Amino acid sequence: MLRMTRLLPALLLLSCALSLQAKPAGGKYQHCFADRWVAGKHGNILYRIHAPARVSKAASLPVVVYLHGSAKGGTDNIRQTKVAVPASFIRNFSERPCILIAPQCDQGRNWKNLSGDSVLSLLDDFLKETKVADPKRVYLTGFSLGGYGVWHMIDKRPDLFAAAVPLAGAAHIRDVSHIRGVSIWIFHGRRDKFVKVQHARDISRALKDKGIPHKYSELAAGHLITSQVFNQPEIHEWLFQQKRE
């Protein structure tokens, strides 16, 4: 009986350790659960994924996708991670664990056509292979060129995203009716000289005209608004509450 009593603490520790092991991701993305940025390539884009090293088998983690602006394009597969938006999620990992995906398109390209298709294909594959990723909580955000990309992707695949946060972007959507199921929060600087704020006002008006609820924040700022937006807890609180039905 004494021997069994001594064994109990060890068994409990073993049980806890096993429960914290990441659930296999089909072999393809398991190496991405490393508490650091892990590089990959899919289609014609490069990407990096940052995910917790240890995940409960019962976990269901949201997936956050960040589309960079034109200044972070290239083939180094690093610079798109060295910006305010991904950094803000990493700082909050202990409170709000998630899977971060930061793709990179080459200089001179945008998030439409092949690059956008590659991001959507990567997401489809990742959600299929990764059991701890919650397909009902996929969040898309992007800045400037990436803001355009946010609108393009939710226009093309509204079924894929629970929420979208376009920053200093513009939309070219003929009919917004089909994006009704995506929770949207638009941010734009009133003094933006690169992408005029009227673009944000126009898409907000189009959503209102269709009776589509959304959030709209026009900031007393210029083009660079990423830190101002994502260094605030409110955006993280709102984002992580969104879930597709």
pLDDT, tens digit (0-9, with 9 covering 90-100), for 120-159: 999 999 999 999 999 999 999 999 999 999 999 999 999 9
Q: Does pLDDT of 215 surpass 90?
A: yes
The CA distance from 64 to 14, in Å, is 32
Angle at 66 between CA 63 and CA 70, to 5 degrees: 165
Domain, as residue range, for 198? 23-239
End-to-end CA distance of the chain: 52
Would 3 be classed as within a structural domain?
A: no
Mean pLDDT of 14-27: 47
Quick one: which H or E segment has residue 149? helix 145-156
Instruction: Provide the domain count of the chain.
Output: 1
The CA distance from 217 to 207, in Å, is 14
Q: Residues 120, 157: contact at Cβ < 8 Å?
A: yes
For position 37, which CATH number holds?
3.40.50.1820
The CA distance from 97 to 33, in Å, is 12
Q: Residues 84, 227: contact at Cβ < 8 Å?
A: yes
Would 2 be classed as within a structural domain?
A: no
pLDDT, tens digit (0-9, with 9 covering 90-100), for 156-200: 999 999 999 999 999 999 999 999 999 999 999 999 999 999 999
Q: Residues 149, 111: contact at Cβ < 8 Å?
A: yes
Would 12 be classed as within a structural domain?
A: no
Classify residue 133 by burial, with Cβ atoms within 10 Å: 0-12, 13-18, 19+: buried
Quick one: which H or E segment has residue 103? strand 99-104
> What local confidence, expressed as pLDDT, does residue 27 receive?
62
Q: Does pLDDT of 210 surpass 50?
A: yes
The CA distance from 132 to 51, in Å, is 11
Would 108 be classed as within a structural domain?
A: yes
pLDDT, tens digit (0-9, with 9 covering 90-100), for 32-45: 999 999 999 999 99
pTM score, whole prediction: 0.90
> What local confidence, expressed as pLDDT, does residue 11 receive?
45
Would 14 be classed as within a structural domain?
A: no
> What local confidence, expressed as pLDDT, does residue 14 receive?
44
Longest dimension (CA), the chain: 77
> What local confidence, expressed as pLDDT, does residue 2 receive?
43
Average pLDDT over all residues of the chain: 91
Would 135 be classed as within a structural domain?
A: yes
Would 80 be classed as within a structural domain?
A: yes
pLDDT, tens digit (0-9, with 9 covering 90-100), for 68-100: 999 999 999 999 999 999 999 999 999 999 999
